């Protein structure tokens, strides 16, 4: 189902699409590729929304900083100094996080209106990111396909080609709150700090005071970053977990988030080598700190400046492809 959701200040219409299959209902916006709601049942069969968001377009435009449910690009996470070298040339980006570039710059993918085409059980979002957009080189043709499978799992496939060497690291920035709190403007959502996270990551990337990786891949043993056997998320996290599986051609399950109060379980399978765990400590009004948990599947922060990290370089003639699947169940 497609409906008008609102209009931007320049007159551009924004539409909302509804997908429904096998007990899962997802609402997405053409603005920012935003996942506005994901409704799934709890252990008693009662449906509830499990992502944070706003009820109207004005909320997203006025409060872009939390990136609620948004499609992030060209580069998710931080690039130190808002610059990176590639093939002997230093590219300067738009700094929007102190001196650094965060989530694609001042006007990344999350603030663009995407072309939306229905596909079986889903949608395909597409746009062309011009050469030099936010300082990134190359004309990038990007498509993002979101579908619900026969089990009600939400799959997101990112694909892209470029006409010049560039870097690319897209993700989805949903904040999960499995208690089933409705996203609404003007009221804080119920906390997610009591959720239990299990993640197959034996290492993490330590960061400096500006949340830029030091370059070390540190063992999680004996630290609060050890989620291998499962532990409460709590608060105080904005860190990349290094997934044991590395980069894979097909999605591999790497994480499980569980809410004991509702019985809802979220599983995450991905082709990506990392997952940024963010516990929404600085999410801001109308949400309370810890209102949701972001599990951003992606390559590592600042990879363009870290040759020892998995590469995010995309070259002409190559086809970028990344896939993440969010599964839903109860126990």
pLDDT at site 180 = 87
pLDDT at site 188 = 42
- How many other β-carbons are positioned within 10 Å of the β-carbon of residue 107? 13
Q: Are 122 and 148 a contacting pair, CB within 8 Å?
A: yes
Q: Are 78 and 98 a contacting pair, CB within 8 Å?
A: no
Name the 3-class secondary structure at 181. coil
Residue 271 sits at the vertex; the CA angle it makes with 315 and 119, to the nearest 5 degrees, is: 85
Q: What is the pLDDT of residues 43-95, one digit of tens each?
A: 999 999 999 999 999 999 999 999 999 999 999 999 999 999 999 999 999 99
Q: How far is CA 123 from CA 13, 111, 118, 250, in A?
A: 18, 19, 4, 20
**Would you say the pTM of this structure is higher than 0.85?**
yes
Which region, left, alpha or beta, applies to residue 60 given φ > 0 means left and ψ of -120 to 50 means alpha?
alpha
In 93-202, DSSP assigns E strands to 101-102, 115-119, 122-129, 140-148, 154-162, 166-167, 171-172, 175-176, 196-199
Q: Catalytic residue positions?
A: 173, 296
What parts of the chain have a pLDDT lower than 50?
183-189
Q: What is the pLDDT of residues 187-200, one digit of tens each?
A: 344 689 999 999 99
Residue with tokens 């699409």: 17
Domains and their CATH numbers in the chain: 2-330 (2.70.98.10)
């Amino acid at each position: 189902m497609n409906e008008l959701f609102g209009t931007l200040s320049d007159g551009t219409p924004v539409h909302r699409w509804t997908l429904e299959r096998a007990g899962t209902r997802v609402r997405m916006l053409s603005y920012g590729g935003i996942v506005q709601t994901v409704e799934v049942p709890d252990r008693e069969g009662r449906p509830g929304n499990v992502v944070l968001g706003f009820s109207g377009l004005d909320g997203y435009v006025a409060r872009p900083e939390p990136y609620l449910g948004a499609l992030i690009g060209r580069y998710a996470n931080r690039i130190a100094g808002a610059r990176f070298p590639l093939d002997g040339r230093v590219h300067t980006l738009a700094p929007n996080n102190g001196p650094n570039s965060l989530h694609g710059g001042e006007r990344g993918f999350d603030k663009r209106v995407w072309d939306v085409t229905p596909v079986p059980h889903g949608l395909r979002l597409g746009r062309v990111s011009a050469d030099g957009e936010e300082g990134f080189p190359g004309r990038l043709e990007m498509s993002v396909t979101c579908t619900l499978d026969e089990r009600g799992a939400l799959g997101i496939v990112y694909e892209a080609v470029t006409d010049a060497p560039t870097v690319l690291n897209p993700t989805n920035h949903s904040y999960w709150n499995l208690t089933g709190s409705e996203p609404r403007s003007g009221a804080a959502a119920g906390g997610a700090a009591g959720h239990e996270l299990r993640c197959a990551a034996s290492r993490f990337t330590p960061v400096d005071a500006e949340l830029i990786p030091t370059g070390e891949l540190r063992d999680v043993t004996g630290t609060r970053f050890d989620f291998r056997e499962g532990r409460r998320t709590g608060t105080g996290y904005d860190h990349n977990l290094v997934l044991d599986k590395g980069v894979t051609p097909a999605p591999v399950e790497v994480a499980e988030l569980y809410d004991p109060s509702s019985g809802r379980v979220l599983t995450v399978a991905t082709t990506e080598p990392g997952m940024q765990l963010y516990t929404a400590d600085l999410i801001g009004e109308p949400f309370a700190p810890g209102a949701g948990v972001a599990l951003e599947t992606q390559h590592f922060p600042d990879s363009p400046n870290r040759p020892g990290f998995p590469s995010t370089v995309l070259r002409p003639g190559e086809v970028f492809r990344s896939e993440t699947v969010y599964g839903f169940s109860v126990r």
